[in-house]
Structure 1
Amino acid sequence: MATFDGLVNLVVVYATLALAVWAFVDALIRPAAGFVAAGKLTKPAWMAITGIATLVLLWQGPLSFLGLPAVIAAVVYLVDVRPAVRGLSRGNTSW
């Protein structure tokens, strides 16, 4: 029988892994010019950061020594970089 602590740990592991995968896929689909125009690191740099974060969370989990920086890296991308790049990629396209 599963304990409450075990279920909470499982939810945290899968939620942080999903967060990192979301950050990686979002970095993958954004245009490279948007990163430079927003004044952020380049697209390959953010792809590497979020990709490594995903691998770390997959292998070690969020509660390990490298897990917390991996979660922070994914959150920084989603909270800071994604809105800046997303706002620039829309442009002024009116129908």
Structure 2
Amino acid sequence: MIASSFSQTIFLILQIISIAGAAYAIFHALRQRADAFPATGKLTKNAWLGILAVGLLLTLIGPIVIMFWIIGVVAIAVYLVDVRPKIDGIQRGPRW
């Protein structure tokens, strides 16, 4: 009983973190200029917004099928770890 409750609590915490990350990623993508995305060699802004929206939906239905949650988290993580730093680098310019 306790182990089941503990694992459910951990999964709930992870799900809340992933939903917050998705919301942050969508908010970040919405605020960026559309031409910054192709300038970094990544997909277009609309494509990333679509990927992030689907990722958010998949994390929301994560408790039903855990594989959906994992796919959503991976999509969100790719944006946050790979795309966001490059977009921010383009927007800010070179750092000296």
State the TM-score, normalized to the length of structure 1: 0.84
Q: Structure 2 stretches of 5 or more lacking a match?
A: none
Alpha-carbon distance change, 57 to 8 in structure 1, aligned in 2, over 3 angstroms:
same
Could you say which residue in structure 1 is the equivalent of 2:49?
A: 47
Larger mean Cα displacement after TM superposition, 83-92 or 65-74: 83-92
Q: Count matched residues.
A: 91
Contact 1:21–1:54 (Cα < 8 Å) also in 2: yes
CA distance in 2, matches of 1:60, 1:68: 8
Alpha-carbon distance change, 73 to 62 in structure 1, aligned in 2, over 3 angstroms:
farther
The amino acid across from 1:67 in the alignment is W
1:6-85 aligned within 5 A: 6-61=8-63, 64-85=66-87
State the TM-score, normalized to the length of structure 2: 0.84
CA distance in 2, matches of 1:60, 1:80: 23
Give the Å deviation of 1:37.
Answer: 0.8
CA distance in 2, matches of 1:17, 1:62: 15
Report the RMSD for the aligned CA atoms in angstroms.
1.9
Q: Which has the higher contact order (CA 8 A, sep 6+)?
A: 1
Contact 1:50–1:73 (Cα < 8 Å) also in 2: yes
Alpha-carbon distance change, 61 to 32 in structure 1, aligned in 2, over 3 angstroms:
farther
